[in-house]
Amino acid sequence: MDDRHNLLDTITNAFVPIHPDGYKFVAGGAIATLLLFLFAPTLGWLCAIATIFCAYFFRDPERVTPDRPGLVVSSADGKVSAVVENVTAPRELALGTEARTRISVFLSVFDVHIVRAPVGGKIVHSTYVPGAFINAELDKASEENERQAFVIETKSGAKIGVVMIAGLVARRIVPFVGDGASLDAGQRMGLIRFGSRVDLYLPPDMDVLAEQGQTAIAGETVLAVAEKGRS
């Protein structure tokens, strides 16, 4: 393999694909940019910057998910904003009153917004809850904001709750899967547009590894592991 080919591969690999949901936004921005350049060049440059950012926001990189049984990986890119033990899962998850651990990951507008499955399994419950659009970093966003909830049951029977929460800027949650879908760990589950949060609700027999303040990568960062003997 020659140096020229290596350089070409390096340049090509630097470009991250855009998720199809973003095509209409990028195309609309590009058309608006061209029109503005004809009549108001200054606004055209501003629109061009906004269009480039839109393409950046909808990026959809490939991820390599650990394949060891019992692992719970992050569903979202962003900062682990909270690790709270002994909480009751929200009613929309229909997980009863069993004490669980909630791990919250906050996504800024600069993070990848594709949400991925934390574990492999089957979606046994999903529901959409309309709501407000307060700052997703606030604890009360779990109960007040618009959200899409899923419950994934693993082969061992463990049930993991995943809640995609809209934020202050986010105005749309786009689920890719629904009831009955079988998922692999790290598989794409949905998209939240322009800033948001994802909460995971884990059963009590999980050894939580996540620390508040750490940076998580969807589909790759291990947040918890099942205790020995569970998978």
Residue whose C-alpha is closest to residue 90's, from 123, 139, 158, 155: 139
Point out the catalytic residue in the list 75, 182, 196, 231: 196
> Phi/psi at 23 (nearest 5 deg)?
-55, -45
Q: Does residue 81 carry a catalytic annotation?
A: no
The residue whose two tokens read 């508040």 is 212
State the angle between helix axes of 23-39 and 41-57 in degrees (0 to 180), rounded to the nearest 10.
170
Distance (Å, rounded) from C-alpha 217 to C-alpha 222?
9
Residue 101 to residue 184: CA distance in whole angstroms: 22
CA distance 144 to 165: 9
* Catalytic center residues: 196
